[in-house]
Amino acid sequence: MERKLELIAPCHFGLEAVLKKEITDLGYEIAQVEDGKVTFLGDEAAICRANVFLRTAERVMIKVGSFRAVTFEELFQGTKSLPWEDFIPEDGKFWVAKATSIKSRLFSPSDIQSIMKKAMVERMKEKYGVSWFPETGSSYPLRVSLYKDVVTVGLDTTGVSLHKRGYRTMTSKAPITETLAAALIMLTPWRGDRILVDPFCGSGTFPIEAAMMAANMAPGMNRSFLAEEWPNLIPRKCWYEAGDEAGDLVNDQVETDIQGYDIDGDVIRAARSNARSAGVDHLIHFQQRPVSELSHPKKYGFLITNPPYGERIEEKKNLPELYRQLGERFAALDSWSAYVITAYEDAEKYMGRKADKNRKIYNGMMKTYFYQFLGPKPLRRKQGE
């Protein structure tokens, strides 16, 4: 029988609305949206589909339960009261892989992890009638968050984070994650039939994510997930069906104009290799080219890019000139829009234009700004043209 489960999908802070829309588009009901995560309702098939199809989630977890705890005794009893036997078989290997605490009285991750493990063992000893657990079976890692003294426990179905699509074998320095790149593209009006250029493409993440969207390729098509090893919870059939659905939706014969430039030839070679791994190299034109040579003959294109921030001191002195060149080349494009994510505070000053919109987004622990310079919308074609 299909179960109604609460599923938790974490994401980058500031991008919850993008993930919420993705989950709704997959057909699932949203239960709650909080900072950095969206909780939704679904069955076993939803776990598979969410892992395969969501572009902006970091992972998919089954919510085992939540409770309030301000002492370690309350943490122990609250954990022990959860129905672990519904999720973890007798031979399962289980542990608290990660614990985070914000604005809570209990804050030591290692203590939280060990106390919860003890409580789980106590509960399962009673339920399974055994005195010890071999833990020789599949892995069932847990992720726990404490926020304002409320403990939320999630069973991680994903394993290696969803931003690891499997295509990025080679990275440039300061790469942007695949999930963040996808979310930023989705915040723009760009669609697969429009022009997209990334003049600082690095290892190719923006162009590759855009090409996968244009070809309707599910981001998790070519990787595996931890919960595939859990026949006690998710029938294999659900994974096969999610994979088949993803395969049926792909249209890699789509016409695109997606380009990635970088001044570094080795980086461009890495980007081409990554695009080949993703199966979209035929949809992207990569070229070694400095930003000062950025141009395009057509109107209404999109610049979507992650320029250098100057993380290293010696790079900082080059930033004013780099952003000035970016601003100049953007201004020379006819009716284009530009979307720039950067931690560089003076980006607008040197680009020579104030952004129409500016969104604060955390890239890991780094505060960045997503500057949106909006060009005119293309005229709608009349029918018959």
Q: What does each of the 385 residues of the chain score in pLDDT, given as a tens digit?
A: 467 999 999 999 999 999 999 999 999 999 999 999 999 999 999 999 999 999 999 999 999 999 999 999 999 999 999 999 999 999 999 999 999 999 999 999 999 999 999 999 999 999 999 999 999 999 999 999 999 999 999 999 999 999 999 898 766 565 789 999 999 999 999 999 999 999 999 999 999 999 999 999 999 998 999 999 999 999 999 999 999 999 999 998 999 999 999 999 999 999 999 999 999 999 999 999 999 999 999 999 999 999 998 766 657 888 999 999 999 999 999 999 999 999 999 999 999 999 999 999 988 778 899 999 999 988 876 554 4
Residue 170 is predicted with a pLDDT of 65
Q: What is the pLDDT of residue 385?
A: 46
- pTM of the predicted model, to two decimals? 0.94
Q: Is 361 in contact with 14 (CB distance < 8 Å)?
A: yes
Please provide residue 65's backbone torsions phi and psi, each rounded to the nearest 5 degrees: 165, 175
pLDDT number for residue 2: 62
Query: Hey, what's the torsion of the CAs at 180, 183, 187, 191, to 10 degrees?
Result: 120
Q: What is the CA radius of gyration of the chain?
A: 23
pLDDT of residue 310: 72
Cα–Cα distance for residue pair 55/20, rounded to 1 Å: 11
In this prediction, residue 315 carries a pLDDT of 73
pLDDT at 1: 43
> 27 with 218: CB under 8 angstroms?
no
**322: CB partners within 8 A, 6+ apart:** 291, 307, 308, 350
The answer to whether the CB of 221 falls within 8 A of the CB of 247 is yes
Rounded Cα distance between 324 and 332, Å, is 12
315 exposure class (CB count in 10 Å sphere: 0-12, 13-18, 19+): middle
